[in-house]
């Protein structure tokens, strides 16, 4: 059976070259970077330092500004809670776009409970925040603005440079979550005016379980994990040396190959976009048509529920994601978890439709043939679900009655 | 690969039984709401107090479609009273279980048969 992975926004396969660079740090060089007085520790420390330089290079930062974490969720927590606590005396107001990842949104909850105020930043129907809204939302007691670089669900790239400029003018910290974009489109921390940037290794062909937070020199953060003095005191705990070495290797490869990857993905993405637009009726694309992640195609189909689409796609060997109420929380604890995607709600997709959204996210290994396979099966799947749907039946009857 | 669902759920999702509608049905029940992610319409034909035919159309996830399909299989041949006694637990068990977060899909099936039989009772008083 076909094995077509179109869910690179959830994770990417490890690049074999990255795996090769990680290998020595499992069996041969297993030292602890903090024990660098001996050869084992020294080898580990060198690996971590080399990786720090490479990750910094990906976003035009300085090596000492990279703090390794267990992933993007921890980096987002450290950025939001760490900055809020460190700058509490200056103010307790935070501005955040309403399409942020759960690891930003939910990191705000304990802060709200402690009296911090959060102003949500609206996005337009393409999912874009307006920098002028940021200007209007900033108050004298605002300490942090957080707007993601690109949205995983709908692919839209946010105007971070303009937002960063406004935040800097007003002397407010600017955090951007670049989990979905880093390694795929260029990001320059200077150009973006960013003080804090979240990165995730497994989203650009690196290993899972490792990420980083860029912390501009001079920015203070309250550590969120108490312990030793690793990572300049920002993040206690023995470093994940093989993971960090892998993140460094993945960053170096991405820096070199990002442009050709993006070129290929834009071509494949256009083929997919144009193809499904032409062959599947009642289909609505989501996100910005131009300012979007390369190879990212997201849409919803009327009269077809998202999880059912995903299940049928998987039967055909096609793996994709959904912002569906049902599928995204399939392993949730109870029915309370069945909520429509906040991102789709934010862009104004009607709530009875929110359950139908699909995200195809292509990667560097995908091919034209795979795109064409998906184009063959998707119309068949949609038709099959429509034929089962009472709402589609009603629509057809109305059409006949209306003579249309 | 079955994913999060039992093989039986996947079978009923992939090959749903009794999809469609019944012209001049004796009872029609519609429950759920597309806004909540699922909606089911159940048609029943009743002859001499027994459900002689049942068809459905469902908008929803895999569990919703499988629950609808299983329900139609379960009620066919049953008396009205027997069909009324079917609970969501019966439907879920017949599917070899549903993930906890999907139990509401079997509840929808139970509500659909009750709604269809209420409609039947209204149309056929006495």
Q: Residues B79-88: pLDDT tens digits?
A: 999 999 999 9
Q: Which residues of B touch A304 (CB under 8 A)?
A: 59
Q: Are A90 and A140 members of one domain?
A: yes
Chain segment A92-104, per-residue pLDDT in tens: 999 999 999 999 9
Q: What is the CATH number of the domain that holds A308?
A: 3.90.1150.10
Does the pLDDT at position A232 exceed 60? Answer: yes
Pick the last residue of a domain from A194, A227, A255.
Answer: A255
pLDDT band for A1, please (50, 70, 90 cuts). Answer: confident
pLDDT band for A367, please (50, 70, 90 cuts). Answer: very high
Instruction: State how far Cα A268 lies from the chain centre.
Output: 20
Q: Are A243 and A267 members of one domain?
A: no
pLDDT value at residue A335: 44
Judge: A325–B37 Cβ closer than 8 Å, yes or no. yes
Question: Active site residue: A50, A86, A225, A326, which one?
Answer: A326
Nearest CA in chain B to A339: B36
pTM of this structure? 0.93
Q: What SS3 state is found at B93?
A: helix
Interface of A with B in 304-343 (CB under 8 A): 304-308, 311, 314-315, 324-327, 329-335, 337-338, 340
pLDDT value at residue A355: 63
Residues 6+ apart with CB under 8 A from B58: A388, A389, A390, B38, B39, B40, B41, B64, B65, B68
Judge: B59–A327 Cβ closer than 8 Å, yes or no. no
User: Residues A363, A269: contact at Cβ < 8 Å?
Assistant: no
A375/B contact by beta carbon, under 8 A:
no
Judge: B59–A389 Cβ closer than 8 Å, yes or no. yes
pLDDT value at residue A339: 57
Please give the mean pLDDT across all residues of chain A: 93
Judge: B38–A308 Cβ closer than 8 Å, yes or no. no
H or E segment at A142?
strand A142-146
Judge: B13–A311 Cβ closer than 8 Å, yes or no. yes
A2/B contact by beta carbon, under 8 A:
no
Q: What SS3 state is found at A378?
A: helix
pLDDT value at residue A325: 44
Task: Give percent of chain A with pLDDT exceeding 90.
Answer: 86
Within 13 Å and on the Cβ side, how many CA atoms surround A190? 6
Provide residues of B within 8 Å CB-CB of chain A: 1, 3-4, 10, 13-14, 16, 19, 21, 30, 33-41, 57-65, 99-104
What is the least distance, in Å, from the CA of B81 to any CA of chain A? 26
Pick the last residue of a domain from A220, A255, A290.
Answer: A255
Range of the domain at A224: 16-255
pLDDT value at residue A337: 44
User: Residues B42, B53: contact at Cβ < 8 Å?
Assistant: no
- Number of domains chain A is built from: 2
pLDDT value at residue A336: 42
Structure tokens at A185: 């489109």
Does the pLDDT at position A333 exceed 60? Answer: no
pLDDT value at residue A348: 86
What is the least distance, in Å, from the CA of B16 to any CA of chain A? 9
User: Residues B58, A389: contact at Cβ < 8 Å?
Assistant: yes
pLDDT value at residue A354: 56
User: Residues A260, A251: contact at Cβ < 8 Å?
Assistant: no
Q: For an interface test with B, which of A389, A391, A392, A397 has the most B Cβ atoms less than 10 Å from its Cβ?
A: A389
Task: Give the whole-angstrom CA distance, residue A175 versus residue A361.
Answer: 25
Task: Give the whole-angstrom CA distance, residue A382 versus residue A78.
Answer: 42
A355/B contact by beta carbon, under 8 A:
yes
Q: What is the CATH number of the domain that holds A98?
A: 3.40.640.10
pLDDT band for A228, please (50, 70, 90 cuts). Answer: very high
Q: Are A369 and A338 members of one domain?
A: yes
Nearest CA in chain A to B59: A389
Does the pLDDT at position B116 exceed 90? Answer: yes
User: Residues A258, A364: contact at Cβ < 8 Å?
Assistant: no
A402/B contact by beta carbon, under 8 A:
no
Q: Are A219 and A285 members of one domain?
A: no
A180-203 average pLDDT score: 98
Does the pLDDT at position A82 exceed 90? Answer: yes
Judge: B104–A305 Cβ closer than 8 Å, yes or no. no
Q: Are A195 and A289 members of one domain?
A: no
Q: Are A290 and A215 members of one domain?
A: no
For residue B61, indicate whether it is catalytic. no
Q: How many CB contacts within 8 angstroms connect chain A with chain B?
A: 87
Pick the last residue of a domain from A235, A255, A275.
Answer: A255
Judge: B33–A352 Cβ closer than 8 Å, yes or no. yes
Structure tokens at A134: 């940021």
Chain segment A128-142, per-residue pLDDT in tens: 999 999 999 999 999
Q: Are A265 and A249 members of one domain?
A: no
Q: Are A108 and A177 members of one domain?
A: yes
What is the least distance, in Å, from the CA of B33 to any CA of chain A? 8
Q: Which residues of B touch A326 (CB under 8 A)?
A: 37-38, 60-61, 63, 102
A357/B contact by beta carbon, under 8 A:
no
User: What is the residue-wise DSSP string for A57-84?
Assistant: HHTT--GGGEEEESSHHHHHHHHHHHHH
Nearest CA in chain A to B16: A388
pLDDT band for A329, please (50, 70, 90 cuts). Answer: very low
What is the least distance, in Å, from the CA of B126 to any CA of chain A? 30
Q: Are A107 and A84 members of one domain?
A: yes
Does the pLDDT at position B59 exceed 60? Answer: yes
H or E segment at A248?
helix A241-279
A154-159 average pLDDT score: 97
pLDDT value at residue A351: 66
Chain segment A39-77, per-residue pLDDT in tens: 999 999 999 999 999 999 999 999 999 999 999 999 999
Question: Active site residue: B22, B66, B86, B105, which one?
Answer: B105
User: Residues A318, B1: contact at Cβ < 8 Å?
Assistant: no
Neighbours of A98 (CB within 10 A): 16
ipTM: 0.90
Chain segment A7-19, per-residue pLDDT in tens: 999 999 999 999 9
Region of residue A166 (phi > 0: left; psi between -120 and 50: alpha; otherwise: beta): alpha
pLDDT value at residue A390: 92
Q: Are A232 and A322 members of one domain?
A: no
Q: Which residues of B touch A390 (CB under 8 A)?
A: 30, 39-41, 57-59
Nearest CA in chain A to B42: A390
Structure tokens at A108: 């705000």
pLDDT value at residue B68: 97
pLDDT value at residue A357: 83
Q: Are A269 and A133 members of one domain?
A: no
A263/B contact by beta carbon, under 8 A:
no
Structure tokens at A156: 């839209």
Q: Are A43 and A186 members of one domain?
A: yes
B43-54 average pLDDT score: 97
């Amino acid at each position: 059976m076909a094995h077509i992975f179109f869910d690179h926004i959830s994770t990417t396969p490890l690049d074999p070259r990255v795996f090769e660079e990680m290998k020595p740090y499992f069996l041969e060089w297993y030292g602890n970077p903090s024990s660098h007085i001996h050869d084992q520790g020294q080898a580990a420390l060198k690996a971590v330092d080399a990786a720090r330089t490479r990750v910094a290079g990906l976003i035009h930062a300085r090596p000492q500004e990279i703090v390794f974490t267990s992933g993007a969720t921890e980096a987002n927590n450290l950025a939001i809670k760490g900055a809020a606590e460190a700058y509490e005396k200056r103010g307790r107001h935070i501005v955040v776009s309403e399409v942020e990842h759960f690891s930003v949104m939910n990191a705000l909850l304990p802060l709200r409970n402690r009296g911090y105020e959060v102003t949500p930043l609206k996005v337009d129907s393409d999912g874009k925040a307006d920098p002028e809204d940021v200007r209007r939302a900033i108050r004298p007691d605002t300490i942090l603005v957080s707007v993601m670089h690109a949205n995983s669900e709908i692919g839209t790239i946010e105007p971070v440079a303009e937002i960063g400029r406004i935040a800097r003018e007003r002397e407010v910290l600017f955090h951007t979550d670049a989990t979905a974009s880093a390694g795929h489109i260029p990001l320059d921390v200077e150009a973006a005016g960013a003080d804090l940037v979240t990165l995730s290794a497994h989203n650009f062909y690196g290993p899972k379980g490792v990420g980083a937070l860029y912390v501009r020199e001079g920015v203070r953060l309250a550590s969120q994990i108490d312990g030793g003095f690793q990572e300049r005191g920002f993040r206690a705990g023995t470093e994940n040396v093989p993971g960090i070495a892998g993140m460094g290797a993945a960053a170096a490869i991405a820096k070199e190959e990002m442009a050709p990857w993006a070129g290929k993905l834009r071509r494949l993405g256009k083929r997919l976009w144009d193809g499904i637009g032409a062959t599947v009726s009642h289909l609505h694309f989501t996100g910005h048509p131009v300012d979007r992640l390369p190879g990212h195609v997201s849409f919803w189909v009327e009269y077809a529920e998202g999880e059912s689409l995903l299940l049928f796609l998987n039967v055909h060997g096609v793996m994709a994601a959904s912002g569906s109420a049902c599928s995204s929380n399939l392993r949730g604890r109870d029915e309370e978890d069945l909520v429509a995607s906040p991102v789709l709600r934010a862009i104004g997709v009607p709530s009875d439709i929110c359950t139908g959204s699909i995200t195809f996210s292509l990667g560097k290994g995908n091919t034209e043939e795979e795109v064409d396979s998906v184009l063959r099966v998707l119309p068949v799947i949609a038709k099959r679900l429509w034929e089962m749907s009472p709402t589609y039946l009603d629509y057809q009857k109305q059409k006949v009655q209306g003579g249309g | 690969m079955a994913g999060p669902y039992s093989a039986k759920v996947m079978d009923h999702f992939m090959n749903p039984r009794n999809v469609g509608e019944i012209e001049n049905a004796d009872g029609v029940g519609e429950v759920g709401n597309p806004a909540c992610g699922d909606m089911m319409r159940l048609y029943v034909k009743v002859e001499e107090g027994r459900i002689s035919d049942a068809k459905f159309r469902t908008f929803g996830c895999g569990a919703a479609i499988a629950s609808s399909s299983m329900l139609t299989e379960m009620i066919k041949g049953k008396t009205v009273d027997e069909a009324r006694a079917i609970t969501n637990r019966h439907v879920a068990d017949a599917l070899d279980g549903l993930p906890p977060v999907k139990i509401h899909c079997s509840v929808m099936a139970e509500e659909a048969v009750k709604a269809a039989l209420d409609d039947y009772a209204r149309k056929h008083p006495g």
